[in-house]
């Protein structure tokens, strides 16, 4: 039995989290520390210098008036006084593929767990909240048990599950998300502007990408890392930025 911290960005009452929670409790010690309200797009934001409301709904189940990152930080530093074996964020309503990972609160929670030395997993399904989560939950439980059994302590996995039948599992790289953003001016009165950010999402399903796997009804498993340094470019730029006076 492992101690699992379960969180998300859709809120504590989201169907994806609740479905996974019920399944994981059958064989693991599960603490839920999840946002009180929808936090999609919160990315890795956190609340600083003001109180965060935390409500204990019942044993080992907390509702947080903050972001997914807040949830992981509060769980680790205050709410759970035992070693956390795995952080699981999800199951998110809708996929998190390609550069979505930079905006996703679901992925951010996993990255926060990994930054504290905990194996972490972000799980999303390529469907909305009205879908049948049965296959996604079954697959997630199996993957979680494999991760817990692994000797590696540095795992950060971004997992996307197709809706409906699952043909198998693919190790993938981040694909190319295409954003066609637009800003809609809603109203303006006395120099105050209200605008809505909207747009259309598309993607390029190149070989070995998360998008390609989902298109073919395979689970996409993408290993992530915390270090965003572009080492190849760093080497090529060295001659341009070196201090010539030395």
Cα–Cα distances (Å) from 140 to 28, 159, 160, 212, 244, in that order, read 13, 9, 10, 20, 54
Q: Among all chains, which residue has been given the structure tokens 């809706």?
A: 163
Question: What are the tokens at 39?
Answer: 């936090």
Positions at the binding site for a divalent metal cation: 9-10, 40, 92
* Burial of 130: CB neighbours in 10 Å, binned 0-12, 13-18, 19+: exposed
- Extract the tokens encoding 212: 């390609």
Q: Render the burial of 69-78: b for 16+ CB within 10 Å, e for the rest.
A: bbbbbbbbee
Q: What are the start-end ranges of the E strands in 19-141?
A: 29-35, 54-58, 61-64, 86-93, 120-125
In the block, tokens 């010539």 appear at 244
| Pair of tokens at residue 238 | 């060295």
Which residues sit in the known binding site?
A: 9-10, 40, 92
Nearest one of 39, 36, 31, 37 to 55, comparing CA atoms: 36
């Amino acid at each position: 039995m492992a101690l699992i911290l379960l969180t998300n960005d859709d809120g504590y009452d989201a169907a994806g989290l609740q479905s996974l929670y019920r399944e994981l409790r059958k064989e693991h010690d599960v603490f839920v520390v999840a946002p009180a309200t929808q936090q999609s797009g919160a990315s890795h934001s956190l609340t600083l210098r003001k109180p965060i409301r935390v409500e204990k709904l019942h044993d080992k189940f907390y509702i947080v008036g903050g972001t997914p990152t807040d949830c992981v930080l509060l769980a680790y530093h205050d709410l759970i006084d035992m070693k956390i074996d795995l952080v699981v964020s999800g199951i998110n309503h809708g996929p998190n593929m390609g550069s979505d990972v930079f905006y996703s609160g679901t992925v951010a929670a996993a990255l926060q767990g990994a930054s504290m030395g905990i194996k972490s997993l972000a799980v999303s399904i390529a469907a909305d909240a009205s879908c049948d989560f049965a296959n996604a939950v079954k697959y997630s439980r199996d993957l979680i048990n494999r991760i817990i059994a692994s000797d590696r302590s540095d795992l950060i996995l971004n997992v996307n599950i197709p809706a409906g039948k699952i043909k198998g599992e693919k190790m993938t790289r981040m694909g190319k998300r295409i954003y066609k953003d637009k800003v809609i001016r809603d109203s303006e009165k006395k120099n105050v502007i209200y605008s809505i950010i909207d747009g259309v999402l598309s993607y390029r399903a190149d070989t070995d990408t998360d998008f390609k796997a989902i298109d073919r009804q395979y689970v996409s498993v993408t290993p992530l890392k915390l270090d965003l340094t572009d080492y190849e470019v760093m080497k090529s730029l060295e001659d341009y930025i070196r201090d010539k006076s030395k």
